[in-house]
Structure 1
């Protein structure tokens, strides 16, 4: 205040000397930005620069196990094994910014209905649906994509699917909306694991409003969702392990072709060596025949 009051009469240097204030402090202008150098937006992996979003997806994969309690130091070690040149400070920052550190958990309100029986005895189509997410590595892009598939258990038919860089709760809701419009999901039992996209309140509320029953597998029990797990194993063996995808788009095109082949042309041993579509259609014919018998009897 003294410097401001007398700076028109005496030089700023002299006034700063009088009050024992350095000129750098006097001329300092605070900034709204964080101090220091701006964090880097890329990381080196296999001598190539990849975005931090790619690093983040790999971090999520590393800590995705049900019993995984890795902190940022263990995650750093795993990333280095994947040929990343990264230090633990950067890993900590990325995990902290995205709520991935230990103790920062996804919370959901409301009760979850867990499965009562491991095996599903489906007697008709659209009685049970099961779904799960599979990671698919696209090497040229140095990142994972996510595949969400929804299967009708009775026929083993894949009713719908999405393949994207990330899958959020609205993606799950929109996929169920499409299935509801085409087939109807009222009174359908939907089985899934405890992924963040599935336990989200918005997803639970949507399925409840559609009068579908959602049930969750127990933690670390993939065998309770064995039908979709088995399909993803088939997909891995018949497509992913045999072909090299040039890009996410290339993978999506090939997945589209595979799903068409799987539903309409691939004989399924558990179905008696017929295709899922044939099983689906035979169920429809059976239902139509029973309806006609009921009409005649009345």
Structure 2
């Protein structure tokens, strides 16, 4: 049956049958939203909307929420099984000069009394130089920002910092600091420490050569041993070189 006879039998206008939508599907915005959601696995649509607004996208929250639902970007409350791939790994280009890319991570140790404390380690990806190691009983996102401010006052800001998805690294304090200083926070995939292998290698050597060699009475003594180990004049402050 021809189109004319079918539309006449159904009493359906041929103009409606041949109509082509002129509505903008916002392809570029959808691609950017997917990229942001992939790089920040623990961000919901409100924080993704904030990131889009910081760029060139003048969109409201309702539109971002609708596209967030249509693209299936809702956060998964349960961890996926090991045999299910959440995201295809994308190789990052290697750093070509010092101060281009940094890597940051947390470690844990304990005093003689059994009291546990945390350590923040910061390493340059190109030179493998230890930029900062800070010990503290409780290190928050604000403490991370304070340490970065101290380091950047001397060296300047990097282009990117590779971090995991810990609560201190996804905090609003660090997010605002990175935005105002034009630093990209490069998040590794959840449960994939190999995405940040340089800092993991550094932490292993730091634990072997420093933490496992001393007993610490208090945080002040621990920080003193750490500062001596990470002295720029010491070979231990550089690894892989």
1:14-33 alignment, distance < 5 Å = none
Tell me if structure 2 keeps the 8 A contact 1:118–1:224.
no
Residue 175 of structure 1: how far off its partner (Å): 1.3
Distance 1:180 1:167 in 2: 19
**1:264 lines up with 2:233 in the alignment:** yes
Q: Give the number of the structure with larger relative contact order, counting CA–CA contacts within 8 Å between residues 6 or more apart.
A: 2
Tell me if structure 1 keeps the 8 A contact 2:202–2:239.
no
Q: What stretches of structure 2 of length at least 5 have no aligned partner? A: 1-41, 52-86
The two structures, once aligned, show a CA RMSD in angstroms of 2.4
**Aligned in 2, Cα 1:120/1:133: closer, same or farther, shift over 3 Å?**
farther
Tell me if structure 2 keeps the 8 A contact 1:132–1:228.
yes
Tell me if structure 2 keeps the 8 A contact 1:138–1:245.
yes
**Aligned in 2, Cα 1:207/1:115: closer, same or farther, shift over 3 Å?**
farther
Output the TM-score relative to the length of structure 1: 0.50
**Aligned in 2, Cα 1:118/1:146: closer, same or farther, shift over 3 Å?**
farther
Counterpart for residue 155 of structure 1: 127
**Aligned in 2, Cα 1:160/1:115: closer, same or farther, shift over 3 Å?**
farther
Residue 237 of structure 1: how far off its partner (Å): 0.9
State the number of aligned residues: 161
Q: What stretches of structure 1 of length at least 5 have no aligned partner? A: 1-105, 272-298
Shift >6 Å, 4+ stretches: none
Residue 128 of structure 1: how far off its partner (Å): 0.5
Distance 2:144 2:240 in 1: 28
Instruction: Please state whether the residue corresponding to 1:198 is helix, strand or coil.
Output: coil
Greater share of residues in helix:
1
Counterpart for residue 41 of structure 1: none
Output the TM-score relative to the length of structure 2: 0.61
Distance 2:93 2:108 in 1: 25
1:101-250 alignment, distance < 5 Å = 109-111=46-48, 117=90, 121-140=94-113, 142-185=114-157, 188-250=159-221
